Structure 1
């Protein structure tokens, strides 16, 4: 499984694969939590609460409440306390298969000329979003899977000029006020360009945003491809992120 920058950016530009499930008031956290559990299960690796808290940055209490709610609906189950493993239930696996196939059909034109598998889509989106959370670099740009999607969606359309704002609202599940604030922040930072044409608002990504996104995608592809011969590219990617994080903590402690 080889990941190239062009195919990764195409995947990141599509709308979210998550749908139908609401167990947390922060949908971006929920999507990352479920993605980690599903990919860990697919690769035969344990998914523990400690890993989820450290990788995603959610609080132990909010994670506990979300997992309890999902367990009541038979979407997740866990065992082996105190360091228990969280596993997807058959209900979640079936629903994931259903919405993933619908996602591929809905986005197949956007993904051309690439034809990624569902597993590749999950691996790419999860790896990039986890990388964004742990690096904490310019978090307002890639703050959530939705906003990351908006960024890459506009970058994918840079060659076509400006894009109508009202059309953007139909592609991503974000309320109008949150979208307005995000666009204003990105415009102030020089990452979005906005103009008015009659009664329409048009936006486009800037070249500086293109450069920033290319740098981050290259980093993710490099780490993912280090495990290209492995049967567990996502788990190996996470292990490398943990190693980098631990090294930074040790350097910070030594500096004190």
Structure 2
């Protein structure tokens, strides 16, 4: 009898936890053509809004689609390894020291009246600042290798990750400020781009109620299991 109670308890708990997981709605945040809000920086030699387009990645860059959400390397123009546009190099008129931003990408998401969780990862060639709600999380790394030497850079081990960060209610913004520090004179020698992938999760109505039921159910089965058997 006790064995049956234990099995039933595990089954109920598993069902409840699975249901709760299903009620957490995860919405992707990924770099893609036409995605985000793009603004040209002073290093680009221009100003105003831009539209993100997918670009060809350098073979040493972090491969696209890092988390299975469909993220692609993007830029304000065709600045990838086989591209037709050179993002102004360090030493150019608009970007004399490699520390003037080429573009800024903003992604907004809204938890409404709920709190929620954020997962996010970003890579850049050459490097980038990352802000959350206007607060700097990590500053650009103005060293030079394939891209930056370390985080935030473009190679697989040079990404910056946010994992299960709990955020408060309402609207939030992620801001990526991207820089070109290389001195190459062509896109093939000096490509430029950004890759990011993540999601935000908002518990759906009823999730907390189900969690309460799950805990009550577990408590009941534990108490039942603790009772002496009369069989």
State the TM-score, normalizing by the size of structure 1.
0.21
Structure with the bigger RCO (C-alpha within 8 Å, sep 6+) is 2
Higher helix share: 1
State the TM-score, normalizing by the size of structure 2.
0.23
Higher strand share: 2
